[in-house]
Structure 1
Amino acid sequence: MTVTPFPELKIRDVHEADRPRERLIRQGSHSLSNQELLAILLRTGTKEESVLSLANRILMNFEKLHALKHATIEEIMEIKGIGEAKAVQLLAAIELGKRLAQKEMDSRFTIRSPEDAAHFLMPEMSPLQQEHFVVLFLNVKNQVLHKQTIFIGSLNASIVHPREIFREAVKRSAASIICAHNHPSGVPTPSPEDIEVTTRLHEAGVIIGIDLIDHIIIGDHQFISLKEKGYF
């Protein structure tokens, strides 16, 4: 017996009140799923596939929504049904979201605990595929004056030199600093190199008079504070 598949549901077949655009207008963007928000950006599907199905395939292709954050136009266009125009629309929306989120985060965020520092950095650093060593420069109120990526690559004491970091701290009139780097493996357990770098930066900070408040290692939505662990 041959089973005839049900035809795929198109947006036009959905009751008008339940369509993503109409629901967004009526209920707000927060009420829509990731699939529905993507469908609005895409606007149309293909002859063979609805826009909702296409949006779902994009999400499945990138597994997690945050993986889209680092997608290139070539990677997006590899998905069947996505041409240059749709890929450009998606990348523009993603970049705008990243800039708005970063602007909000960077507006004199106050660090009161290792959790504050981790939550400030984790959305950006947790998905990275390479190690990034980042320094937060703080004022006397522990507000973030500046954030800077010092280098990208495997952590090594010969690369992370205190001179470069504290020169920037003096330039920014920083009272203290917080260092952070990510482990692409997702496991934030400190390595001997991590501990060595931390010790050197702490000792240099004591001499210069600019405190190293913490060194945060960021994994896959988890972190470790070397200060809390007693490494300095």
Structure 2
Amino acid sequence: MTLDLYVPKISELHIADRPRERLLRQGAESLSNQELIAILLRSGTRSESVLQIANRVIGFYDKIQDLQHATVEEMTSVKGVGEAKAVQLLAAVELGKRLARKQSNDRYVIRSPEDAAAYLMPDMASLTQEHFVALFLNVKNEVLHKSTIFIGSLNSSIVHPREVFREAVKRSAASIICAHNHPSGNPAPSPEDIEVTKRLAEAGRIVGIDLLDHLIIGDHQFLSLKEGDFI
């Protein structure tokens, strides 16, 4: 028999232990995921505290990272979360995603596989379906554009070089970096991954736009096919 975890009401907590007061006194980094969500939700209902609703939101998803793919429909299916609260949460999630991309007035420069992975992981690490993405770079290795080329299982008949290099020519790219995710979390390359990589590298040599790397993104880990000598 599983016992439900008791979640106290805000009014039952000492004022110094309430989420907003603790944030002001100790900083946002000291708060739990539940407390941060409670602050975003702002208030509970007549029958439940905001902490209880926040706890239910967290329990609705397998892991906190899954919130980045949440929809209004999913959020409002959680008891105690109406449309207004769902919008507040999704706005905060989107702001966090934008901050994670390290957006600035300067273009993002990629000097290593680690740089490329840091740029891509916030969006790709928790995807539940395979996405094949291309980064188009200028001669200074600055990212000009990011494009999702294909969504679905990777194979050489679907991810065709012409789709990738058509966009590269359009963007006047000097080179490209490709990446796709493995929803299983394991970034080990499949035979199809290696075949696609070799076809793209050969096409790049023909058109004069180098394939610098092909990354496979797993569960907050990645593999570089360039470092694996597949390019």
TM-score by length of 2: 0.89
Q: Deviations over 1:139-196 (max 9, x none)?
A: 2221211111111111121222212211221222211110000111111121121111
State the superposition RMSD in angstroms: 2.0
Classify the secondary structure of the residue corresponding to 1:95.
helix
Q: Which residue does the alignment assign to 2:129?
A: 130
- Identity of aligned pairs, percent? 72
**Per-residue deviation, 1:77:** 1.9
Deviates more, 1:87-96 or 1:129-138: 87-96
Code of the residue aligned with 2:228 in structure 1: it is K
Is 1:86 the counterpart of 2:121 in the alignment? no
Residues 107 and 62 (structure 1 numbering): CA distance in 2 closer, same or farther, change over 3 Å?
A: farther
1:59-116 deviation digits (Å, cap 9, x = unpaired): 1221311111111222222222222222222222222333343362795222121122
Aligned length: 226
Q: Secondary structure at the match of 1:119?
A: helix
> 2:226 is matched with which residue?
227
Of 96-105 and 71-80, the range deviating more from structure 2: 96-105
Contact 2:7 2:51 in 1 (8 A): no
TM-score (ref. length: structure 1): 0.88
Matched, 1:187 2:174: no
> Counterpart of 1:35 in structure 2: which amino acid?
Q
Asked if structure 1 preserves the Cα contact closer than 8 Å seen for 2:139 and 2:175, the reply is: yes
For structure 2, the residue ranges without an aligned partner over 5 or more in a row are 1-5
Q: Within 2, Cα distance between the matches of 1:99 and 1:110? A: 17
Name the CA shift for 1:127/1:146 in 2 (closer, same or farther; >3 Å): same
- One-letter amino acid of the counterpart of residue 217, structure 1: I
1:8, distance to aligned residue in structure 2 (A): 5.8
Q: How far has the Cα of 1:30 moved from its partner? A: 2.7
Q: Could you tell me whether the CA contact under 8 Å between 2:216 and 2:222 is conserved in 1? A: yes
Say which SS state the counterpart of residue 130 (structure 1) adopts. coil
- Contact 1:105 1:120 (C-alpha < 8 Å) held by counterparts: no
State the distance in 2 between where 1:196 and 1:92 align: 40
Pick the structure with greater CA Rg.
1
Unaligned runs of 5+ in 1: 1-6
Instruction: Point out 4+ residue stretches in structure 1 off by more than 6 angstroms.
Output: none
Which position in structure 1 is the counterpart of 2:3? none
Tell me if structure 2 keeps the 8 A contact 1:106–1:144. Answer: no
Tell me how far 1:201 sits from its aligned partner.
0.7
Distance of 2:31 and 2:158 partners within structure 1: 46
Name the structure 2 match of 1:4: none
8 Å contact from structure 2 (residues 97, 123) kept in 1: no
Q: Once structures 1 and 2 are overlaid, which stretch shifts more, 174-183 or 114-123?
A: 114-123
The 3 A distance-change label for structure 1 pair 131 and 94 is same
User: Contact (CA 8 Å) 2:101, 2:122: kept in 1 or not?
Assistant: no
CA distance in 1, matches of 2:86, 2:72: 6
Give the counterpart letter for 2:58 in structure 1: L
Contact 1:217 1:225 (C-alpha < 8 Å) held by counterparts: yes
1:104 is paired with a residue of what secondary structure?
coil
Output the CA distance in 2 between the equivalents of 1:39 and 1:89: 11
Task: Note if contact 1:42-1:51 (Cα within 8 Å) is conserved in structure 2.
Answer: yes
